[in-house]
């Protein structure tokens, strides 16, 4: 984490500075509490970045805590994937790894305390009845008919709930607060529900589970969290968070503070775990790690780097204002990084054979820069032979005006090698261009012509004799709609899936040196884009991004 990032300030850090100056807080302690019911995505990266960066800036600690209080949707698969993603991001927890289920006994103990203090009661209302009694934003709620049960009756019923005597949904334990509160979250919220489901860590020990709004502040308090940093949708839950802390009688100081920031939404994708799960379960994508997905494992497989993702988060800003982040900024961040770091190689995705009639049968080697942006990256020797492949799109026998690539009678430079001139075009029986015959100006080894004539076009190439063949995956945005949050009610997100979001190119010809490519290596295929090996399918390359960066041009204006 760079010193620049650590020195940045925002409204959260301003408040922490005040807490430290006033003596309220001596050591900052943050946490990231994902529910293990899916894979982390780019929005999760924002929460991870804020919490890890804040802890590191103040020399504090950062916890990972799995919010596994809803056993119906949770699985060890997701636990393992979350830990893998944090490690990949360089955000390993410095304060430890915890589970919400570690605190079930303590949550139960605090619930019993609330009952004994007359601040919680067992309610028999159904979920629909509870919603009806809750009221609206403009009308107060009304008391449950079970609100005034005696302490003894509530203790008996709650213990019987724990012992499994009642069916799912038959009863809840509710906090007794204020049914007329202007904040609906304070209108006697449920804090325990009955769920007869085996827990992934606790097995069948429990059939009642605390709700997040009750369990989370208890977990924070017990771990010594000083600043519980979460997304903005929890702002209206903050009074309940504080109420739980104040009423369970926790004795550690300072009490944790909940503070909220705007969550991250990104154009041309979805962040809802429900939608992401549907994409996977309906086989609309190639799993959670599909390179078109906004999941961290998908971005990793596509070739994105932790530094580019965190740079995107940083540039998107930290505020409380809801906004839609342009995916073009994320793409710009990875291009900006890879332009400096990616090794250059030549690859021909749609090969057309070009024969140089005045070149012998020998193999000549040209020294070509590995990265013109970084002289320290050195050079490599690229084999050149009588026959080479060029991109089919780099030749036209009926060129449009101002066409600066190869055409009958025209000249181009083969990148890093000779200037060649098209002398003849050979067609197959269907009238398609099969081969182009050229002559090379053998005096132009990567130099301008001695006679001063101008050759504007430069195209890449790969030796026909020295190359490897590979399949190439080309990716575009997963959705055709910019703001997936604005989909009409009579439509589904499925109606806006981009049918052109994945194209596989077979039989591409790649520079021979790419046979030594390893997982994690990043390459710029000259004039084509940034690529890496696919981690799931051997011998395939994924396009990370194209070279074209309209967002970067916008920033320069």
CATH number for 543: 2.40.240.10
Helix (H) or strand (E) segment spanning residue 352:
strand 351-356
Of 87-96, 99-108, 450-459, the range with the lowest mean pLDDT is: 450-459
Instruction: Examine the domain organization and report whether 255 and 300 are in the same domain.
Output: no
Q: Is the pLDDT confidence value at 264 over 60?
A: yes
Instruction: Examine the domain organization and report whether 338 and 354 are in the same domain.
Output: no
Beta bridge partner(s), residue 368: 380
192-216: per-residue pLDDT in tens? 999 999 999 999 999 999 999 999 9
The pTM assigned to this predicted structure is 0.92
pLDDT-derived band at 553 (thresholds 50, 70, 90) equals low
Boundary of a domain, candidates 231, 263, 295? 263
Would you say 254 and 313 are in contact if contact means Cβ atoms under 8 Å apart?
A: no
Token look-up 């004994």 returns: 116
Instruction: Examine the domain organization and report whether 531 and 421 are in the same domain.
Output: no
- CA 514-520-522 angle, to 5 degrees, is 55
Q: Is the pLDDT confidence value at 4 over 80?
A: no
Assigned domain for 107 exists? yes
C-alpha 29/C-alpha 333 separation (Å) is: 30
Instruction: Examine the domain organization and report whether 229 and 366 are in the same domain.
Output: no
Phi, psi of 101 (to 5 degrees): -70, -15
Is 9 exposed, middle or buried (CB count within 10 Å of its CB: 0-12, 13-18, 19+)? exposed
Boundary of a domain, candidates 234, 263, 292? 263
Active site residue ranges: 35, 263, 273
Angle subtended by helix axes 306-316 and 76-89, to nearest 10? 80
The residues near 340 (Cβ < 8 Å, ≥ 6 apart) are 371, 373, 374
Q: What is the domain extent for residue 485?
A: 273-343+469-556
pLDDT-derived band at 551 (thresholds 50, 70, 90) equals low
Would you say 518 and 535 are in contact if contact means Cβ atoms under 8 Å apart?
A: no
Boundary of a domain, candidates 263, 281, 313? 263
Average pLDDT for the chain: 94
Q: Give the per-residue pLDDT at 315.
A: 94
Assigned domain for 268 exists? no
462-493: per-residue pLDDT in tens? 999 999 999 999 999 999 999 999 999 999 99
Number of domain units in the chain = 3
Q: What percent of the chain has pLDDT over 70?
A: 97
How is 458-499 classified by DSSP, letter by letter? EE--EESSSEEEEEEEEE--SBS-S-GGG--TT--GGGGB-T
Q: Is the pLDDT confidence value at 2 over 50?
A: no
């Amino acid at each position: 984490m760079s010193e620049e990032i650590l020195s940045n300030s925002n409204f959260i850090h301003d408040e922490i500075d005040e807490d430290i100056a006033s003596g309220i807080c001596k050591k900052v302690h943050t946490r990231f509490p994902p529910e293990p019911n899916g894979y982390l995505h780019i929005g999760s990266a924002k929460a991870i970045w804020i919490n890890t960066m804040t802890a590191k800036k103040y020399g504090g600690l950062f916890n990972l805590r799995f919010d596994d209080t809803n056993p119906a949707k949770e699985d060890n698969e997701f636990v393992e994937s979350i830990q893998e993603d944090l490690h990949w991001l360089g955000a390993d927890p410095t304060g430890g790894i915890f589970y919400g289920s570690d605190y079930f006994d303590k949550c139960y103990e605090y619930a019993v305390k609330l009952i004994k203090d007359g601040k919680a009661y067992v309610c028999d209302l159904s979920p629909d009845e509870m919603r009806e009694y809750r009221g609206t934003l403009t009308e107060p709620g009304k008391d449950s008919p079970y609100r005034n049960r005696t302490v003894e009756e509530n203790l008996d019923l709650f213990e019987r709930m724990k012992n499994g005597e009642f069916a799912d949904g038959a009863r809840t334990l509710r906090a007794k607060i204020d049914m007329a509160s202007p904040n609906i979250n304070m209108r006697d919220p449920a804090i325990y529900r009955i769920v007869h489901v085996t827990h992934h860590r606790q097995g069948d020990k429990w059939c009642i589970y605390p709700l997040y709004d009750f369990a989370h502040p208890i977990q924070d308090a017990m771990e010594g969290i000083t600043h519980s940093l979460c997304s903005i949708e929890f702002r209206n839950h903050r009074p309940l968070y504080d109420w739980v802390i104040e009423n369970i009688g926790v004795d550690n100081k300072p009490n944790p503070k909940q503070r909220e920031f705007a969550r991250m939404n990104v154009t041309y994708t979805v962040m809802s775990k429900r939608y992401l799960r549907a994409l996977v379960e309906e086989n609309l994508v190639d799993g959670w790690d599909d390179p078109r997905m906004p999941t961290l494992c998908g971005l990793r497989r596509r070739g994105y780097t932790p530094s580019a993702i965190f740079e995107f988060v940083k540039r998107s800003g930290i505020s409380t204002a809801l906004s839609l982040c342009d995916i073009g900024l994320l793409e710009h961040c990875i291009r900006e990084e890879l332009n400096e770091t990616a090794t250059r190689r030549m690859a021909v995705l749609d090969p057309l054979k070009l024969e140089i009639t005045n070149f012998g049968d020998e193999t000549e080697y040209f020294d070509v820069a590995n990265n013109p942006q970084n002289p320290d990256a050195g050079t490599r020797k690229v084999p050149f032979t009588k026959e080479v492949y060029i991109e089919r799109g780099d030749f036209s026998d009926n060129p449009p005006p101002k066409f600066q690539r190869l055409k009958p009678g025209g000249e181009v430079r083969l990148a890093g090698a000779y200037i060649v001139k098209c002398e003849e075009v050979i067609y197959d029986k269907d009238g398609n261009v099969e081969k182009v015959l050229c002559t090379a100006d053998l005096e132009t080894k990567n130099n301008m012509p001695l006679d001063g004539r101008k050759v504007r076009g430069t195209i890449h190439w790969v030796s026909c004799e020295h190359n490897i063949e590979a399949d190439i995956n080309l990716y575009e945005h997963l959705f055709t709609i910019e703001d997936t949050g604005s989909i009409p009610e009579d439509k589904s997100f499925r109606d806006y899936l981009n049918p052109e979001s994945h194209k596989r190119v077979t039989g591409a010809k790649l520079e021979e040196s790419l046979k030594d490519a390893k997982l994690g290596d990043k390459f710029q295929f000259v004039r084509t884009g940034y690529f890496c090996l696919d981690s799931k399918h051997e011998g395939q390359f994924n396009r990370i991004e194209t070279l074209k960066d309209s967002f970067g041009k916008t920033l320069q204006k």
